[in-house]
Amino acid sequence: MGIGILKKLFSRNSSRDTAKKRLQLVLVHDRADISPALLEELRGELIDVISKYMEIDSNNIEMELDREDGSVALVANIPVLSIKRSKKQDRRSKAKKQSK
Amino acid sequence: MEPKVIVVTSGKGGVGKTTTSANISVSLAKSGYKVVAVDADIGLRNLDLVMGLENRVVYNFIDVIEGNCRLNQALVRDKRVDSLFLLPAAQTRTKDAVNPEQMVDLCKNLKKEFDFVIMDSPAGIEGGFQNAAAGADEGLVVTTPEISAVRDADRIIGMLESLEIRPNRLVINRVRPHMVRGGDMLEVEDVLDVLAVKLIGVVPEDSSVISSTNSGEPLTFGNSSPATQAFENIAHRLTGAEVPFLDLEKMNDNRFVSGLKKIFRFSK
């Protein structure tokens, strides 16, 4: 038993832990039925859409599918550099022009 | 108890579906239930070999479906235990020889005569599995504690659920206690953590499984090896009995048998 505790203390990354982590990660993708390529595509489109409204740091975006309590969530961390005010105004002015 | 069709499946090949099917079928029959083990792996027949009945196969279930023989003619009676039968697969046909509707009919007919229909599914998620699962009431998903097998098990559980087969319960096969202790194998809790499914049994790695297959004598016919008790417990749980799980962790692999004997003494 003493050896077991020592082992647990000193081998922080047993192959069991690695296996479980890899498995959890791959199952999140399997269950969400979304391939890494598709996730990458979604990321690209999201950047495009959000960039219309705010200036974002597209190099530091973190995006992943997360599993919590049996449900899957799309978690995105998108650093905002500045908010654009022009977009809405652009739209309004365009609408006004069209209505004239 | 209502008659039940239980599909034994895994996704991944080679994790012990056929061994599990044979052993629980024998164990259920020994407890007095009328049992038929159906080999649904058309073209890759194996359950007859594992059960030691290969020399007595005359017809197979494709013959039954196509009307070449009556159901009773195709059933192979196991002479070692009353009330155990095998319905063999066709060896020279492919899975396309039958469709899910025909399997549903076959299962209905089998349920008229048997308490348990144990359906040994082929590996994979395609036609062969779809056929095997078509008439099933419950699922038994077999996996080993390896990530590839667990991943495939997850896929199969999803498919069984979409077919509205439930409950589905998990058999974790070939657990090696010394590797678990050393942190080099997924533990039972790890597997249950990632798979949303209930556990029905944990079977330790046991070399006597191979020798029992060599001789065509499933362990549950009376072997006293470590895996035997595990398979028998699974069979009992299928009948609704509450059986405590074996504690594999407390046992050294070489002292396993003596550990089991202690458990037997306690339970008797």
DSSP letter for each residue of B29-44: HHTT--EEEEE--TTS
Domains with residue ranges and CATH for chain B: 4-267 (3.40.50.300)
pTM, two decimals, is: 0.77
Cβ(B150)–Cβ(B194) below 8 Å = yes
B184 reaches A (C-beta below 8 A): yes
Q: How far apart (Å, rounded) are the C-alpha atoms in residues B237 and B246?
A: 13
B interface mutation test: which of A20, A22, A33 has the most B CBs within 10 A? Answer: A20
Q: In whole angstroms, what is the distance from residue B172 CA to residue B187 CA?
A: 10
pLDDT string in tens for chain B (268-residue length): 899 999 999 999 999 999 999 999 999 999 999 999 999 999 999 999 999 999 999 999 999 999 999 999 999 999 999 999 999 999 988 888 899 999 999 999 999 999 999 999 999 999 999 999 999 999 999 999 999 999 999 999 999 998 999 999 999 999 999 999 899 999 999 999 999 899 999 999 999 999 999 999 999 998 888 899 999 999 999 999 999 998 775 555 544 554 454 455 454 3
- Residues on chain A touching B251 (C-beta within 8 angstroms): none
CA distance B144 to chain A (A): 13
Chain A residues whose beta carbon lies within 8 Å of the beta carbon of residue B161: none
Of B39, B50, B9, B51, give the one whose Cα is nearest residue B169: B9
Q: Is B185 on the interface with A (CB under 8 A)?
A: yes
**CA–CA dist B172, B169 (Å, integer):** 10
Do the Cβ atoms of A27 and B154 come within 8 Å? yes
Write the residue in B185, B186, B196 that is nearest to A70 by C-beta.
B196
> Which residues in chain A have their CB less than 8 angstroms from residue B252's CB?
none
- Spatial separation of the C-alpha atoms in residues A71 and A66, rounded to whole Å: 8
Question: Looking at chain A, which residue has its C-alpha nearest residue B190?
Answer: A20
Closest CB from A8, A14, A24 relative to B194: A24
ipTM: 0.79
